[in-house]
Amino acid sequence: MSVIGLSAHERTPFRKLSYGEQRLILIGRALIKMPQLLMLDEPTHGLDDANNANLLNFLELVVDKQISTIVYVSHRQDEFRNFFRQYINFDELEIK
């Protein structure tokens, strides 16, 4: 809980957490077994700006600590971060 920044909510029932907090917990739960690959399809969909930033910051930590390789699918170009090593832009049909 401390890694995802939610240690203050460790006794809060899941249903009483915000949508963004729930999303962080579910991704954190998926990482407990240290998977080699984590696939996320539109993980920030429906999140406000603060929770969007929290989730992307957490994913940056995952990448920095080399916990898992992440396949991240999003239609939002404003979510692009420097820790994305490769990407496909279907608008321009290019692979970088």
pLDDT tens by residue, 45-68: 888 888 888 889 989 999 999 989
pLDDT band at 21 (very low <50, low <70, confident <90, very high): confident
Give the pLDDT confidence score for residue 64 in this predicted structure.
92
pLDDT reading at 3 higher than 90: no
Mean residue pLDDT across the chain: 85
**Distance (Å, whole) CA 70 – CA 37:** 6
**DSSP label of 54:** H
Give the pLDDT confidence score for residue 86 in this predicted structure.
84
- Domain 7-95 is in which class? alpha beta
Region 69-81 average pLDDT: 87
- pTM of the predicted structure, to 2 decimals: 0.77
In the chain, domain spans: 7-95
Give the pLDDT confidence score for residue 94 in this predicted structure.
58
Phi, psi of 37 (to 5 degrees): -135, 130
